Structure formats: structure tokens, C-alpha cells
Amino acid sequence: MPNFWSLVFEEAPPEIDRYIQPSDSAVFAECLVDVEVERLELDKEPRSFLLRFKFDSNEWFEEQVLEKKFWYRRSKGNWQGLVSEPVKIHWKKGKDLTNGITDASFALWQAFQASGNTSGHGFQKLKSSLEYEALAEVVENSDLSECSFFTLFAYISSHRYVDEKESAQAYHAEAERHEKRKRGERVEDPEEEMAGPDEEEIRIYSHGEELAQVIADDVYTNAIKYFSRCSY
């Protein structure tokens, strides 16, 4: 049905609406074809999911499909939440709705991956890199309260990036603590991690986890309900 998803997002709850700018609504109205949610780890972690947005050819970006994966992970300090990798969007000249944030986040992510140690660290170790400085400058010069919806594709974590290996180790350690508690043994919980002020991933799109979860758990599931609210 034409404009189905643009109308769904138009009637979306406040948790979504406040992150959709008029320029985003124009993209949705003109070329958003479909939205899909796919659960990535139903056998072990149903809270991990993929968002897939399908578009007609348009004046803003080259892609006709934009996908963003969110993995539910646990850190060695017992933090739990969604992490993700930045997605490259090939914006057409002068059409970048994120004002360079997605490009800068993706570039820093590539440098982060190339550094060879993605577990247990934020981006502090890259503070002297050109990629870090470029992202810091873009973020500093952006009004993060008025970011485009498409800045979601720059999101990494509300805490810090946690890879699959660290998460598996953390879940294993928690299972061991649980067994010890059942046996009546004294167990010390891991020291809670506090996100450092220089962990740039926190400031890229700090509400990305909330936004992604609302899309996956509410908007997608209740799309017909929101569409039926539209008045013609």
C-alpha cells in the first residue's frame, strides 16, 4: 500500500516521533517502501535483531536497502544492552541529513576495528587519531537534540562496544556465580563499569538503543494499529 510506512511513522508514539525531523518525514513519504525486523539469535538471545529499511530510488542516498544489526550483549562489568556497528550510507552530494555524523562514525569504527582490540575499551585509545578528531568535531558542531532519524545508523552503544567473545565470557562468569549462590557460597559481583567521559560512542547517538527497540518491539509489531489511526 503506497505510503503505508510513512503513515505508520507519522502516527508513531512519542518515543519515535521526537527523533523524526521534518526532513526525515520527507524521505519516508517519498521513498520508504518497507520496514522489516528480523530476530538474529532466536536460539540463544531473542533480544538481538536487525532493522531493514527498503527505499525507492531517491535524491538523498544511493542505497535502496539500509540494514542495521543490534546485538544484545553483556560486559565483563555486568552492563547489559544493545551494541551495533555503524552503517555506511552513501549520501548524494549535499544531501547528508546527518551532517557528516554517519560518515565520521563509520570511519572511526573502521579505525577501531583495524586497531585489533575491540574488547574492553571505548575509543580513548584512538583519541589522537584523525578519525576520532573528525568525529569529535562533527558531534561538537551538531545539535544532538535535533539529529536526523538516520543518525541511528551511526549508533554503536550507550555504554561501550562489547564484542561477542567478551559477552560469552561474561554470561559464563554470571552462570558460575549463580551456581555458587545456589550452593550457599559467598560471591562477589563484578565491579560495575562506569562509562568514561571520553568514550565517544556514548555521544554519537545515545538514545539509539531506545529508538531501535521501540521500532522493533512496538512500531513494527503494531504497524496496522498505527496505520488505522491515520485520517484521510
CATH topology of domain 4-228: Arylsulfatase, C-terminal domain (3.30.1120)
Overall pTM surpassing 0.95 (yes/no):
no
Please give the distance of CA 22 from its chain centroid, rounded to a whole number.
Answer: 21
Identify the band that residue 197 occupies on the pLDDT scale cut at 50, 70 and 90.
very low
Among the residue ranges 47-56, 74-83, 115-124, 166-175, the one predicted with the least confidence is 115-124
**In the chain, % of residues over pLDDT 70:** 87
pLDDT at 176 over 60: yes
Q: Tell which phi-psi region holds residue 100, choosing left (phi > 0), alpha (psi between -120 and 50) or beta.
A: left
Tell me what the mean pLDDT of segment 2-16 comes to. Answer: 88
The whole-number pLDDT of residue 198 equals: 45
Domain boundaries, the chain: 4-228
Residue 9 near residue 28, CB atoms below 8 Å: yes
Which three-class secondary structure state does DSSP give residue 107? helix
Greater confidence (122 vs 3) lies with: 3
Average pLDDT over residues 43-50: 91
Q: Is the pLDDT of residue 230 over 80?
A: no
Q: For 60-75, what is the mean pLDDT?
A: 95
**Lookup: cell for 53:** 529499511
pLDDT band at 114 (very low <50, low <70, confident <90, very high): confident
Range in 51-55, 68-72, 156-160 the model is least confident about: 156-160
> Who has greater pLDDT, 147 or 202?
147
Q: Within a 10 A sphere around the Cβ of 176, how many other Cβ atoms?
A: 11
